[in-house]
Amino acid sequence: MTHFLDIHKTDVADLNNILDQAKSMKTARAGLPKGTPDADTPLANHMVALIFEKPSTRTRVSFDMGVRQMGGQTMVLSGNDMQLGHGETIADTARVLSRYVDMIMIRTFDESVLLEMAEYASVPVINGLTDRSHPCQIMADILTYEENHGSIKGKKVVWLGDGNNVCTSFLHAAGQFGFDMTFAGPSILDPEDEAIGFARSKGASVSIERDAEKAVEGADLIVTDTWLSMHDKQSARERRHNLLRPYQVNKDLMSHAGDDAVFMHCLPAHREEEVTSEVMDGPQSLVFDEAENRLHAQKAVMRHCLGL
């Protein structure tokens, strides 16, 4: 049994095999209607529980569609349906679900919920997002970069804005895939030291630059994320805007990176805040390829977890 909990907890060879599988599966589906099953259906007779304590568009649709394309069925459960950790323990929930389903994907708040679920489940558990990390997103991002520009190894990735959970997973990936990373944002929003330390321990160069224009010089990939959580109050929103306005990705900033640089955003985006529509819809943007590739990357992750 194999879980997929974080990029830095997954063997490098396995990560590369997942990407190779994703590329092959995507190629095999070229031109097919979205609802057409894959040529092989490795999840036939399999049931996958999709647990959402946090709302979702891409994670929910891509996992649900991926399971169906591979011949399986899904059981979608919300936090209200389950009351995770309220009444029944997470450990007991994991034990019970393991009697009903073949795999669990969970999108939750506290990383401890994910880890406890994985500890007590007797089926594979996949991290669909926690407040600390978002590994499935970054697998899709690397898939997207490499199908457009070749290997990401040795490239310069620049993260602008908030050193959040997606940034953490990018740092984990820098260590595992061998690319360098620059963070540009206010010091109060720096990424966590542990993630920076992991990347550096694997030989990746990680730097922090407060000047956005300097940060993007020589960049191969520029990435940002929303400045605001869906749970932020209005006062927090105003403070965030003031802090992060110098790190907006716009046409002028992209010009300092050069014509070969590409742009990514995990979505949903707040247009004209962290990124302008001119960049989002421009020739350097890969955001919608990136969104599609959640489907293909996660299908490969599920096959990896089930050894299929």
- Two structure tokens written together for 100: 């009903």
Q: What are the C-alpha distances in Å from 249 to residues 193, 286, 295? A: 25, 14, 26
Burial profile 186-209: b = 16 or more Cβ within 10 angstroms, e = fewer? beebebbeebbebbeeeebebeeb
Q: At what angle do helices 287-306 and 58-69 cross, to 10 degrees?
A: 50
Burial profile 106-125: b = 16 or more Cβ within 10 angstroms, e = fewer? bbbbebebbbbbbebbebbb
What Rg value do the Cα atoms of the chain yield, rounded? 19
Catalytic residues: 107, 134, 137, 225, 266, 294
DSSP letter (8 states) at residue 8:
G
How many CB atoms sit inside 10 A of residue 94's CB? 21
Burial profile 9-47: b = 16 or more Cβ within 10 angstroms, e = fewer? ebeeeebeebbebbbebbeebeeeeeeeebeeeebeebe
Say how many residues make up the chain. Answer: 308
Q: What DSSP string runs through 225-281? A: --SS-TT--HHHHHHHHHHHGGG-B-HHHHHHH-TT-EEEE-S---BTTTB-HHHHT
How many CB atoms sit inside 10 A of residue 271's CB? 13
DSSP letter (8 states) at residue 42:
T
Helix (H, G, I), strand (E, B) or coil at 87: coil
